[in-house]
Amino acid sequence: MAPLLTVEGLRTTYTVGGREVTVVNGVDFQMERGKTFAIAGESGCGKTTLGLSIAQLLPSNARIRSGKIVFDGVDLLQMREDDFRRRIRWKKISMVFQGSMSAFNPVIRVGDQIVEAITHHETASKSAARERASKLFSAVGISENRLYSYPHELSGGMRERAMIAMALASSPDLVIADEPTTGLDVLVQAQIIGLLRKLRDDLGRSMILISHDLSVVAELADECAIMYAGRIVEMGSVRRIFGNPLHPYTMKLLGAFPGARLEKRITLVGIPGEPPSFLNPITGCRFNPRCEHAMEVCRREEPRLVEFERGHFVSCFWREETSGDNTR
Ligand SMILES: Nc1ncnc2c1ncn2[C@@H]1O[C@H](COP(=O)(O)OP(=O)(O)OP(=O)(O)O)[C@@H](O)[C@H]1O
Ligand SMILES: [Mg+2]
């Protein structure tokens, strides 16, 4: 079957103080229908920017400079903006924003915001939209009377659920969930994970899961891309990435060598050295100053993402060199 989404050579920049910096720098990946594709990596590596690029919800100082985003056979970057708004946004691709507090308008009741989202994108009557909002709330496990609450009256977990309900309002084909469990206590995190799993398993929803929490990725995702400084450095099935990480960065993230168990609770551990600044891009492999395997070539050239074993991609000269005949 054709992939639901293909991203090719995507490059997104921000202009700050008259200077344009590249934050997503040549990202390529594909995802299949009905699957959950995770994007993981340290804070600031460009995960949200990648998600916002796909949903076409970038802030005004951002530009997509090159690449393709082909969704269901259509290159979204070739579409007119009003066409995208009318046909794709929320109906086909929706987003659960990072930080549910700031995603809602604080002075409007959450129910009214969901009704507004439905009636804005579809020709539904207000009463039909309110009925749908009630159903969505019960689907995400919030009682209907909470529709009358203001955002600050909901707990963090409830707000996240309400955000997920809003993203599901028009039954989109693809939901991009940006850090849906971050900042919630462990018990509430588990409930949100359960809810997202239900969306995937019972409703067959396709999802891009953005998270810096690898245990969430391990629990929910089928495929995973590890990002470092605006690029994907490793990509493959969750089983392979967690069972046999290939990139030195992924190995550090998992805090162990091959064999890191999926069931183990793993959060990003501190990695010695500074994450790179986008203002002063590093020559060669961006991870080289923090990499204990860095070779001369790593300081000079940028490695390409290559298929190391079937369906498992890595961009690393050291891995290519040490793998002998395995490398393609
Ligand atoms: N509107 C903006 N203008 C300028 N720079 C921005 C803007 N938004 C993000 N950035 C910068 O782009 C880089 C990537 O940010 P992004 O939010 O995509 O990272 P992230 O991986 O989602 O991080 P986190 O895990 O903290 O959410 C960071 O250096 C950030 O400071
Ligand atoms: Mg983010």
Question: How confident is the model over 300-319, as a mean pLDDT?
Answer: 96
Q: Name 213's Cβ contacts closer than 8 Å, sequence gap at least 6.
A: 181, 182, 267, 268
| 175 Cα: distance to centroid of ligand 2 (angstroms) | 16
| 48 Cα: distance to centroid of ligand 1 (angstroms) | 7
Q: Domain for residue 142, yes or no?
A: no
Q: Name 66's Cβ contacts closer than 8 Å, sequence gap at least 6.
A: 9, 10, 11
pLDDT band at 269 (very low <50, low <70, confident <90, very high): low
The four Cα atoms 252, 255, 260, 264 give a dihedral, to 10 degrees, of: -140
The residue nearest atom 4 of ligand 1, judged by CA position, is: 14
Q: What is the pLDDT of residue 147?
A: 93
Helix/strand/coil (H/E/C) assignment for every residue in 64-89: EEEEEEEECCEEHHHCCHHHHHHHCE
The domain containing residue 73 runs over which residues?
A: 5-92+172-326
| Total domains present in the chain | 1
The residue nearest atom 7 of ligand 1, judged by CA position, is: 14
Contact between residue 13 and residue 65 where contact means Cβ atoms under 8 Å apart: yes
Q: What is the pLDDT of residue 256?
A: 43
- Rounded to 5°, the CA angle 180-184-188 comes to 90
Question: How confident is the model over 311-323, as a mean pLDDT?
Answer: 93
pLDDT band at 327 (very low <50, low <70, confident <90, very high): very low
pLDDT per residue as tens digits for the range 135-171? 999 888 899 999 999 999 999 889 998 999 999 888 8
Q: Domain for residue 265, yes or no?
A: yes
Q: Domain for residue 112, yes or no?
A: no
- Between 199 and 297, the more confident residue is 297
Q: Name 226's Cβ contacts closer than 8 Å, sequence gap at least 6.
A: 40, 41, 232, 233, 234, 235, 241, 247, 249, 250, 253
pLDDT per residue as tens digits for the range 80-102? 999 998 899 888 999 999 887 77
Q: Name 92's Cβ contacts closer than 8 Å, sequence gap at least 6.
A: 71, 72, 172, 173, 174
Ligand 1 pocket test: pick from 49, 226, 232 the residue with the most ligand atoms within 8 Å of its Cβ. 49
pLDDT band at 305 (very low <50, low <70, confident <90, very high): very high
How many angstroms separate the most distant Cα atoms in the chain?
66
Q: Domain for residue 208, yes or no?
A: yes
Q: Domain for residue 245, yes or no?
A: yes
Q: Name 203's Cβ contacts closer than 8 Å, sequence gap at least 6.
A: none
pLDDT per residue as tens digits for the range 223-256? 999 999 999 999 999 999 999 999 999 998 887 4
How high does pLDDT run on average in the chain?
A: 89
- Rounded to 5°, the CA angle 246-22-53 comes to 85
Q: What is the pLDDT of residue 7?
A: 98
| 45 Cα: distance to centroid of ligand 1 (angstroms) | 7
Q: What is the pLDDT of residue 239?
A: 94
pLDDT band at 328 (very low <50, low <70, confident <90, very high): very low
pLDDT per residue as tens digits for the range 256-266? 433 344 555 55
Enter the tokens of residue 99.
């930080």
Distance, in Å, from the CA atom of 80 to the CA atom of 94, rounded to the nearest integer, reads: 18
For the CA of 98, the nearest atom of ligand 1: 27
Residue 87 has φ and ψ, to the nearest 5°, of -100, -30
Helix/strand/coil (H/E/C) assignment for every residue in 288-305: HHHCCCCCHHHHHCCCCC
Q: Domain for residue 119, yes or no?
A: no
Q: Domain for residue 220, yes or no?
A: yes
Q: Which residues, judged by CB distance below 6 Å to any ligand atom, belong to the binding site of ligand 1?
A: 14, 16, 23, 43-49, 59, 61, 98, 212, 278
The enclosing domain of 221 has a CATH number of 3.40.50.300
| 276 Cα: distance to centroid of ligand 1 (angstroms) | 13
Q: Domain for residue 216, yes or no?
A: yes
Q: What is the pLDDT of residue 324?
A: 62
Q: What is the pLDDT of residue 19?
A: 93
Question: How confident is the model over 33-55, as a mean pLDDT?
Answer: 95
Please name the amino acid found at residue 8. E
The residue nearest atom 27 of ligand 1, judged by CA position, is: 43
